[in-house]
């Protein structure tokens, strides 16, 4: 769980530094969360991701 927190925090930092501001001045943020998931087929343990995007008005 701590690894996911570190990955999520790192994604937040990268998103904050990498995303340019839009023309109207709103900041766009993106975060990716990784889920370890068990499936019935080989390789049985896979990673699924969810991407969250939001904007912050000026």
Q: What is the pLDDT of residue 22?
A: 47
Instruction: Give the tokens for residue 18.
Output: 């990498």
Nearest-angstrom CA–CA distance, 21 and 31? 16
Domain that holds residue 37: 2-56
- Residue 5's contacts (CB-CB under 8 Å, 6 or more residues apart) are none
Q: What is the pLDDT of residue 20?
A: 58
How many domains is the chain built from?
1
Query: Scanning the structure block, which residue is given the tokens 């900041």?
Result: 27
Q: What pTM does this model have?
A: 0.42
Q: Give the residue with greater pLDDT, 37 vs 5.
A: 37
Q: What is the pLDDT of residue 2?
A: 77
Q: pLDDT tens-digit profile of 6-58?
A: 777 777 777 766 655 544 577 889 999 999 999 999 999 999 999 999 988 77
Q: What is the pLDDT of residue 3?
A: 77
């Amino acid at each position: 769980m701590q690894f996911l927190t570190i990955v999520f925090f790192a994604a937040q930092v990268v998103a904050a530094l990498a995303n340019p501001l839009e023309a109207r001045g709103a900041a766009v943020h993106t975060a990716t969360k990784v889920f370890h998931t068990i499936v019935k087929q080989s390789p049985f343990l896979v990673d699924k991701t969810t991407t969250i995007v939001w904007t912050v008005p000026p």
